Amino acid sequence: MTTPWDRLLGARVENGQRKPPFTAVLSRVPIFENLSKHELASIDRILHRREYLPDEIVFRQGEPGMGMYVVQTGKVAIVSEPQNQQLYEMQEGDFFGEVALLDEGPRSATAVARSSCTLLGFFQPDLFDLISRNPRLGVKVVLSVARHVGVRLRQADDWVTALTVELEALRKKHTRHEEG
Amino acid sequence: MLGFQSRHTGGFIAFLIGILSLVTILYSGGVGETVAVALLLAYILNPVVTRLEYRGINRGLAAGLLLLGVLGTGALIWLIVSPIAAQQLQSMNTGNASAQAHRIVDNVQNFLDTRFNYLGLAKVDLNLEISRFKADMAERIPAALLESSISFVIALVMIPFLMFFFLKDGSQIKRYFIGLVPNRYFEFAMDLLYKMDTQLGNYLRGQFLDALVFGILTTIALWILGVPFFVYIGLFAGLANLIPFIGPIAGASLAAISVVVEQGDLGRVWSVIVAFIILKLVDDFVVQPIAVGKTVDIHPIAVALGIIVAGHFFGVIGMLLVVPFTGFMKVVLEESVQTYRKYKFD
């Protein structure tokens, strides 16, 4: 159904129907992969499409996080400050900043556009609104986000464990070297 | 240094936006006021539509059902209240006060003549002045309620129409306007709007509900006590209750004066005062804790100054609305400053 606002505010309309423009991208995002077409269309309606120029900051480390971004086109670098060390490079279909959907804490890294890119923003206020209007879908999304945050936490945990083992080995090696 | 400047710049910008919006609404004629009223009503009633949507009803249908409910209730109240209101207006214009009331007013006049003759009050005929004042109010009330019949009818049609679309598509409209914010300030704008929405929503809905409940309870109490013009005094008391300290006293004084000058029944003045004390206690300990989730503390001196300034520029309506508006501005300023300080704008 199209509404007068769709026409007034310039929403994408095709054959009298409001076109969900991001559904194809969303269905490839792991957080939304278990959603039906109808549910994806509901998510599509609350997303914010943002265009960025190369080297433009998406968000800055230490600032409050409001939500996650899905890369529709282009590349985004996740950079740790103040060393300016690149941690990841996000490409089409990747998503980042999802922790901010669950927690209002400061961003742990800076996100910078590496090329001209289009991002789809999914923000905490819209998620809360979705939960109050359609709790079934809202809970589904929150569970999925929590599951992915859990996976990343486990990965980080494994990484820390591996680094701790490596550090311990280095320390032992260093001690032996000093004793020898 | 930058932090100091930023804090003040953020607050100043929010204040300017608020003042500009108010001036635009007040001076854009009927259109601005109609849109503002529809927007305010839609904002206050939005949780009801969300609750209906939660129950599985389509948002458009939910907005339509709510609108029908509001219009139906309004029509019912109009049917019940309008004959009484018209009759009270008529008696305000032409009706005569009781002989007892005349005697009391004469006694007051004699007292003033003997004790305060030097003030020149002896030349004033109090009974005549009261009749003139009542006739003047009888003219002013309908004029204030229906500024002109055409704009009133347009507003009556346009407000529900706009309200329906604001309720149904409010989030789309909000999303469109947030979309216009530049990338660097986008998350800040989202953050600020969300926090303001949470704070303001609770505050405005609370104030609206409290004024409504207090107005209805006062009207019923005054009707039971047989106070003249109880419909208008009840309406005034509901709105005046938005003003802390002064509002309830103003409502009670108006009711007491109308009892004295119309019925001359001094005994009933006490029952009116007791009724207002009970109503205020019920309001403070029952209605407000339920309706007003979060209060916005405004210093009494700020309230008094605000009332004087608003009264000077915008008359009685300005005086009644200055407290909710000051509360609105306070939330906007505080949230703007607090949110701005968390972001690292260059």
Contact B59 A56 (CB under 8 A): no
Q: What is the CATH number of the domain that holds A173?
A: 2.60.120.10
Q: Which of B141, B155, B149 is nearest to B29 (CA)?
A: B155
Token duo for residue A47:
């997303």
Say how far apart CA A127 and CA A45 lie, in whole Å: 12
List the beta strands (DSSP E) in chain A: 13-14, 17-18, 48-52, 57-59, 67-73, 76-80, 85-90, 95-96, 110-113, 117-123
Q: Which residues of B touch A49 (CB under 8 A)?
A: 179
Neighbours of B36 (CB within 10 A): 17
A60 with A78: CB under 8 angstroms? no
pTM of the model: 0.71
With tokens 């945050």, the residue in question is A149
According to DSSP, the β-strands at A17-18 and A76-80 are unpaired
A139 CA: distance to closest CA in chain B (Å): 13
Predicted confidence (pLDDT) at residue B100 exceeds the cutoff of 50 = yes
pLDDT (tens digit per residue) in B3-28: 334 444 444 555 555 556 656 555 55
Average pLDDT, chain B: 77
Write the ipTM. Answer: 0.79
Instruction: Give the residue with greater pLDDT, B255 vs B292.
Output: B255
Distance CA A46, CA A135 (A): 15
Residue B247: which pLDDT band, with cuts at 50, 70 and 90? confident
Q: What is the largest CA-CA distance in chain B?
A: 76
User: Does residue B291 have a pLDDT over 80?
Assistant: no
Measure the CA–CA gap between A69 and A114, rounded to whole angstroms.
15
CB B325 within 8 A of CB B22: yes
Predicted pLDDT at B4? 37
Among B169, B168, B188, smallest CA distance to B178 is for B188
Q: Is the pLDDT of residue B225 over 60?
A: yes
Q: Are the CB atoms for B287 and B206 separated by under 8 Å? A: no
Range of the domain at A23: 4-179
What dihedral do alpha carbons A147, A121, A51, B175 form, nearest 10°?
Answer: 170
The reply to whether residue B343 touches residue A123, judged by beta carbons under 8 angstroms, is no
At A31, which helix (H) or strand (E)?
none
Q: Which of A33-42, A133-142, B41-50, B109-118 has the lowest mean pLDDT?
A: B109-118
Cross-chain residue pair A135–B54, CB shorter than 8 Å: yes
To test the contact with chain B by mutation, choose from A7, A38, A48, A118 the residue with the greatest count of B C-beta atoms within 10 A, namely A48
Average pLDDT, consecutive stretches of 10 residues, N- to C-terminus, chain A (180 residues): 53 51 78 88 89 93 91 93 88 90 88 93 92 91 91 91 94 86
In which band, very low, low, confident or very high, does the pLDDT at B49 lie, cut at 50, 70 and 90? very high
Write down the pLDDT at residue B10. 46
Lowest-pLDDT choice from A149-163, B53-67, B147-161, B190-204? B147-161
pLDDT tens across B150-181, in order?
566 777 788 888 899 999 888 888 888 888 89
Cα B167 versus chain centre, distance: 22
Distance CA A91, CA A75 (A): 5
pLDDT 10s digits, B173-186: 888 888 889 988 89
| pLDDT, mean of residues B249-255 | 88
**Residues 6+ positions from B123 with CB-CB distance below 8 Å:** none
CB contact under 8 A, B175 and A66: no
- Asked if A84 and A55 count as a contact pair (C-beta separation under 8 A), the reply is no
Q: How many domains does chain A have?
A: 1
- β-pairing, A57-59 vs A110-113, is antiparallel
